Amino acid sequence: MKRILRVAVVAMCALTAAAPASAQLGKLGKALGKADDAAAKAQKLKAMYDSLVFTDAEEQQLGQQVSDKLRVRYGVVQDKAVHKYVTLVGTVLAQASSRPNLPWKFIVLDTDGVNAYAAPGGFIHITRGALSLLQSESELADVLGHEIAHVTEKHTIKAIQQGKLVALTAEMTRNQIMSAVADKSYEILFEGAYDRGQELDADEKGVALANKAGYAPGGLGAFLARLDERNKNNPDRNGLFASHPATKERIEKLANEIRTQKLSSTAIVAGRYKASITYKPVPVTEISQITAGASGLAGSSSSTKAGGTKSSGSKLGLGKLSALGGEKKSTATIASAGARGGVPDRDAKGGSNPAIVGVTVTAAEIAEFKKGIVG
């Protein structure tokens, strides 16, 4: 009997000891489960960053959103003849590019600031101010070629992918990801955030593309030298200089590229350019800038010149952002940039009309236009 009692006591002790162990195993199981969930989320997040690869149609959606914001920010020149001419030059280049089948669009922004912007999917923007500073069709072709190269090489999207520049979460839908990428793409363009390698790549590919179409490849270097002279008294990098490598380095590399690649086309086409583009350049110190702060950006009728004086002007119409792109928060981005000052071309006041100027160019018109590309 005593032996049986001892066995029972031992059994009861074993059961008592087993209870805490079971509880501990339960806690361990929960911890392992949480770790598995965390690993799964991390894997999903990695897959999301890896999936920042877009179809042509998605690129065009991104580009459309970015273009909407640029057009609201700067307005669009409402001159069909100017758009037709720029579109003809741009189309000749785009058809000779590595992505000729994109639905390329060429848009002239209504601002004295000297700048150009390439949005994904084939949306190329050049400002009225840039056109005023160019002196020939070959210079225009070289500048447009540079912007086209940003699109064909997918520089904006690659910058976002490689730098993980958008904050993704595992719960985001594809549409939400697209919206985040569009916001960041606009910021990259507005702030001039391409890296040195991408800018030099666009320089080289852009002049090679213009040369392929028959234009003298030295136009970009000539334009950069003129722009450098214009900005010599500006202490900060300005507009096209916001992200580009040092101007002298760029000009030297362009000259070396032309020489080593034996780019020998000779067409300047200055006469046709001057007959089509009659804008006069505005000195950098005379460019009216938007007033700093969201209130000024949202529709203030006053603007500030680069030298600090105020002048009257039309409303920017940034309240239309929600109608065009649904991105009210981009106003804060612009306000932040404008508040820093020191970048007259970027912060230049724009026009009030963001409407696209629709033009079409036929195959016959392009063929006829090409006949004028002669040295």
The pLDDT of residue 164 is 86
C-alpha to C-alpha distance for 341 and 343, rounded to whole angstroms: 6
The pLDDT of residue 132 is 97
Inside any domain, residue 40? no
Inside any domain, residue 71? yes
Domain containing 225 equals 49-283+305-370
Inside any domain, residue 253? yes
Inside any domain, residue 4? no
The distance between the two most distant Cα atoms of the chain, rounded to a whole number of Å, is 121
Name the pTM for this structure: 0.77
Alpha carbon 365 to chain centroid, angstroms = 30
The pLDDT of residue 195 is 82
Q: Are 66 and 120 in contact (CB under 8 A)?
A: yes
C-alpha to C-alpha distance for 188 and 194, rounded to whole angstroms: 7
pLDDT by residue for the chain (375 residues), tens only, comes to 445 445 444 444 444 444 555 555 666 767 676 766 777 766 766 676 666 888 999 999 999 999 999 999 999 999 999 999 999 999 999 999 999 999 999 999 999 999 999 999 999 999 999 999 999 999 999 999 999 999 999 999 998 888 888 888 888 888 999 999 999 999 988 887 788 889 899 999 999 999 999 999 999 999 999 988 888 877 666 555 544 557 888 899 999 999 999 999 999 999 999 999 999 999 988 999 886 543 333 333 344 555 444 433 322 222 233 333 333 333 333 333 333 345 888 899 999 999 999 999 999 999 999 999 998
The encoded tokens of residue 176 equal: 């939400």
The pLDDT of residue 344 is 87
CA distance readout (Å), 329 to 68, 77, 239, 298, 350 = 14, 25, 22, 12, 19
Closest CA to 123 of 101, 143, 106, 99: 106
**Burial classification of residue 212, based on how many CB atoms lie within 10 Å of its CB (0-12 exposed, 13-18 middle, 19 or more buried):** middle
Positive or negative, the CA dihedral 146, 151, 154, 158 is positive
Inside any domain, residue 137? yes
* Residue that is written with structure tokens 């020191």 in the block: 342
Closest CA to 109 of 94, 136, 90, 130: 130
C-alpha to C-alpha distance for 205 and 97, rounded to whole angstroms: 9
Pairing of β 288-290 and β 302-305: antiparallel
* Residue that is written with structure tokens 């029972």 in the block: 8
Inside any domain, residue 31? no
Give the alpha-carbon dihedral of 60, 64, 67, 71, to 10 degrees.
Answer: 150
Inside any domain, residue 16? no
Inside any domain, residue 134? yes
The encoded tokens of residue 253 equal: 């590399």
Q: Are 221 and 268 in contact (CB under 8 A)?
A: no
Q: What is the domain count for the chain?
A: 1
C-alpha to C-alpha distance for 167 and 185, rounded to whole angstroms: 13
Helix axes 174-191, 155-163, angle to 10 degrees: 110
Closest CA to 115 of 292, 282, 278, 333: 282
